[in-house]
Amino acid sequence: MSSTRATGSSAADAVAANERIRALVDAADGTWPSEAYEVLLQEWAAAVHRGDSDQVNEAA
């Protein structure tokens, strides 16, 4: 059950990071904040990777 909860948390983290990316892009107003975008992408990738890791552990 804890792996399911962790997977749900990872999915929620990925969704939250994705929403922050969308907000950044929407607020860019013609400029591109590449450093902030890179940080948000790293957060999103980490959340997605945690979800993948949880699914592998659950399958084992």
Tokens at 41, concatenated: 């992408």
Q: Residue 55 and residue 11: Cα distance in Å, rounded?
A: 11
Residues 47-51 have a mean pLDDT of 84
- pLDDT at 41 (0 to 100): 93
Q: Residue 26 and residue 42: Cα distance in Å, rounded?
A: 19
* Span 18-37, pLDDT tens digits: 999 999 988 988 888 899 99
Alpha helices by DSSP H, listed for the chain, are 2-27, 34-59
Task: Specify the higher pLDDT residue, 54 or 39.
Answer: 39
Average model confidence (pLDDT) for the chain?
Answer: 78
